[in-house]
Structure 1
Amino acid sequence: MSCLIISPADIETERTHQSIFQGVTAFDKASMRHAETQEKIALPAKEDIETEKTHQSIFQGVTAFDKSQMRHAETEEKVALPAKEDIETERTHQGIFQRLVSFDKSEMKHADTQERIVLPSKADIDAEKGQQALREGIEGFNPSALKKTQTQEKCVLPTKEEIEQEKKA
């Protein structure tokens, strides 16, 4: 005896399928309205017909071409020689390449590398310390230490006599 385990999802899908099947089989065709079917045939435009005829005539001309009417022609291949400058450049490159390939490392001399440590001068150190102090002063500025001030705008208007003098001048 085999024991099948059916999940709740399987049961739900079976119920959905049964309800759809019952809806289809129990459908009443009499409740539908009658509709007239109209067939529409779209004919190609006049330009499309003309282009198609042109393509067909070209194709027929190519396929029906008589090869016996053609004359035999010999193909002449021309060899373009490089310029004198190009030849010299190529020879130079080949010479350099040959020297690189045939280079013998055993002919090289041993060289000892001396590393020299150049320390900055006293003036350079002092200048850098001054720059650091300036940077720290700007970055560490505390705006809450500023005192509150009142700004007074003084706008002196000209007197009538001054205006009269300007008008006369």
Structure 2
Amino acid sequence: MSCTVPAAPAPPALKDLPKVAGDLKSELETFKSCNLKNADTQEKVVLPSAEDVAAEKTEKALIEGIERFDTSKLKHTLTQEKNPLPDKEAVQQEKTHQTLLNGVEHFDKTTMKHTETEEKVVLPDKAVIEQEKGQRNLISGIENFDNSKLRHAETLEKNPLPTKEIIDQEKSA
């Protein structure tokens, strides 16, 4: 079975084309390009520079190199674990610490029982308090003693020191 390609449609005849107005036709025939105003052209689609093209080519080459990389060329190495996993004791210690913290943070007060408090330190009786007041008064009297209230007294020597003559007599004897 052969495939038939449909033929292109025939161009329309001159009589089938739309008619152009006469004044427009004469205007187009007498048109001069020197009557146009000069305008700057602005490129809306800027072509990439040579550097951009070169950078894109090197990027494509790198990507292709990565995609086509042969892993059989790599050498085998032994991996060394620098951050080892914790042992069972460390995990257990951390779990107990976490359970203690959770127990303190989320403590259920409804499980507590009411207790009566007993005073174990009894206050001292009146006799001990009076004795302590007497000691404090004595200490404050000593600390705040006023020397101006003392009377002047003359001291008499009952055991005078020996004179030089008496000392010489005892030495010679």
TM-score bracket for the superposition, by shorter chain length:
0.3 to 0.5
Q: Which has the higher helix share?
A: 1
TM value normalised by structure 2: 0.37
TM value normalised by structure 1: 0.37
**Bigger Rg, which one:** 2
